[in-house]
Structure 1
């Protein structure tokens, strides 16, 4: 039985509806997984009031990046229309969507990615990495690293300053963003200026106390976490830093923003990672948003935290990418 205590009435009603409409990952058949991945949410009213609007001031195009095994990784590219084609000094944000490495698609992140492009004043590239269980770990990590390193060399193609780059993601996507930051650092490159991690999964050993505290939370339960992990990491090498960035070497990483949800079973994955980053000398800002569940960034219209989290996210990205605060 899911627990909805602690949230505002509006948030409770919205997430209860979301839970009723979704099949939990642990109960999904293969066909249902594919159908869920292909499902796109309406962007018209009243849905946009819940999920956020797609900013019409941002153009959306498409591309691909080469993976190490010859696969072409699809990219969804967002560029503010106000940024002229001749203006090439704008930064780049590489985004990785959530979904437990099993679900999710780039289209449903149009509201957030267009918001980031418009408000930060950046080219945003959302990476459509391959999903488990068809492509278990480390395929998603390899796609994320390969896409990011390829993009860093594509300033001319992007008409942007790709060496002034941030990585960003939510949940499983934040896990990938954190891993990419570590891998790029290990390669001796310093072009990632910031990592913005929204309720990140950082420890696949499930040692965070909040997993038991919020085992029956809305949106994400302990049972679902176990199912996602089994799909993604069947070899059970949970302490490998490519899967659990908390176990990686953290010194020398770019500054980080970590946003957590107080009613989230993986809340402590974020707080523990932020503490570890600070202990390693990494400039880190941690904000725990009260009275919201996991995934709150995907439905910003149902709580005050939605607007606050977006303001903080945009402000931190602008600051670390060398842009004046709006």
Structure 2
């Protein structure tokens, strides 16, 4: 069968089997168990770094906050390449939103990817620690993501960056939030003036009605099953009436005049067709889209590039697209490593 888990690369299959054996799926966790799972991080030393891609001493990490509309201070984790001078402010910004079904995950777990993007793109990466369900159901995560991005767009001096050149990026639930943010920030600006130059969506969830054919086709896929997805949705969107709200399902939003998109999907992922359908919908209204479906890999592959044969290709494509759009007509040899 074309989409059998057995079509994975052997080392990918071995890793996913071990990962699933060590952790309980979300549908078996009570609130205390969910909260414990959010604290999981992996050391950035071998053998863990062989799997995750490791961190980088060439990137400095600092912290900040952005105000939410309800008075909450949204934590931010900031990454800046050390090769950039303190006085160098013509550096673009990538807003990053982590995955985890709007329920799990944390910003520290995404250090390897965020450090890689900061160094290779030549950008300040701002990872947004948005609030999680079930304590904070939809659309609070979307509001936090939008509010943090709006704050960043107006505080280039604080970040020592050019916040007229932003990109949004995220994986899975984070890809969902990145797509939602791109729509919301466009709506807050005059036509053609949004600071978001690009949206990089890694296996994004775009339709909370779960109507994509791949969800049933790959219901028992490794790393993410349909049962997992239903549990995440129940935590994040307890009201079925919200499933078609563009704040939780960007597929149902107004897609005209959005920034160009890169959408990366995994062929063995129930969310595969969410990405494909979103790409088709963007193209239908004239938004430039690059869609790449990575074969023989499951959901989550961006977090374990060391055990998928296409890990380097995925990262190179992601970096290349971000650099292309963030540096279009604005080439700085220092920032591009010249």
Pick the TM interval, shorter chain: over 0.9
CA RMSD of aligned residues (A): 1.0
- How far apart are the structure 2 equivalents of 1:173 and 1:164? 20
Is 1:229 matched with 2:230? no
Is 1:247 matched with 2:213? no
1:203 maps to what in 2? 207
Is 1:77 matched with 2:78? yes
Contact kept? 2:9, 2:309, Cα under 8 Å: no
1:107 maps to what in 2? 108
1:161 maps to what in 2? 162
Is 1:296 matched with 2:301? yes
- How far apart are the structure 2 equivalents of 1:74 and 1:303? 32
- How far apart are the structure 1 equivalents of 2:22 and 2:64? 32
Is 1:280 matched with 2:285? yes
Q: How does 1:27-46 map to 2 (within 5 A)?
A: 27-46=28-47
2:172 maps to what in 1? 171
- How far apart are the structure 1 equivalents of 2:155 and 2:80? 15
- How far apart are the structure 1 equivalents of 2:34 and 2:49? 24
Contact kept? 2:69, 2:147, Cα under 8 Å: yes
2:325 to 296, 312, 320: 320
1:277 counterpart SS class: helix
- How far apart are the structure 1 equivalents of 2:103 and 2:194? 30
2:221 maps to what in 1? 217
TM-score, structure 2 length as denominator? 0.94
Counting matched residue pairs gives 324
1:291 counterpart SS class: strand
C-alpha displacement of 1:20? 0.8
* Bigger mean CA deviation after superposition, 4-13 or 59-68: 4-13
Q: How does 1:36-185 map to 2 (within 5 A)?
A: 36-185=37-186
TM-score, structure 1 length as denominator? 0.98
- How far apart are the structure 1 equivalents of 2:23 and 2:325? 37
- Gaps in structure 2 of 5+ consecutive residues: none
- How far apart are the structure 2 equivalents of 1:43 and 1:58? 14
- How far apart are the structure 2 equivalents of 1:115 and 1:265? 27
C-alpha displacement of 1:199? 0.1
- How far apart are the structure 2 equivalents of 1:304 and 1:125? 28
Q: Which digits, 9 at most, give the CA deviation of each residue in 1:24-45, with x for residues without a partner?
A: 0000111111110011111110
Q: Which digits, 9 at most, give the CA deviation of each residue in 1:125-154, with x for residues without a partner?
A: 000000000000010000000000000011
- Gaps in structure 1 of 5+ consecutive residues: none
C-alpha displacement of 1:4? 2.7
1:6 maps to what in 2? 7
Q: Which digits, 9 at most, give the CA deviation of each residue in 1:189-221, with x for residues without a partner?
A: 410000000000000001000001100001100
Is 1:267 matched with 2:272? yes
1:167 counterpart SS class: strand
* Bigger mean CA deviation after superposition, 309-318 or 16-25: 16-25
Q: Which runs of structure 1 show a deviation greater than 4 angstroms over 4 or more consecutive aligned residues?
A: 323-326
2:316 to 288, 308, 311: 311
Contact kept? 2:179, 2:250, Cα under 8 Å: yes
